[in-house]
Amino acid sequence: MFRFLLTVRRTQLALHRVWAAEVTENRTMRMRRKTTGGEEQQEEETEMQLLRLRRLQRLRLHMTLVVDNLQQYFMADVLGAQFDRLDKRWQYNIVAYLHNTVKSR
């Protein structure tokens, strides 16, 4: 379970790194667009690159949402429920130990 959670966390970090690279690329493209005055061919290529970049951003956003929700589900629901069961067993064992200690005196 923890290996899976570690893999999910690494995936999250990779997606966030991609986001940072996208932001940098988007700024670069916008600056290129502003500095290219009147060159229609280059402007069309930049527009196409921006369109592709927006599609990739949307895909990355959806992937990030899925991975974030998956991690939240496993951390809160699955591990939380297992921890509660473990906590109840631990409390039972403590009570049983104390009971046996008092009983033996």
Q: What pLDDT digit, counting tens, does each position of 74-103 carry?
A: 888 777 777 777 667 767 677 677 677 777
d(CA 54, CA 44): 15
Evaluate if residue 105 carries a pLDDT over 70: no
Query: What mean pLDDT is reported for the chain?
Result: 80
Instruction: Please give the tally of structural domains in the chain.
Output: 1
Give percent of the chain with pLDDT exceeding 70. Answer: 83
Domain with 54, as residue range(s), is 2-104
Which stretch of DSSP H or E encloses residue 87? helix 79-104
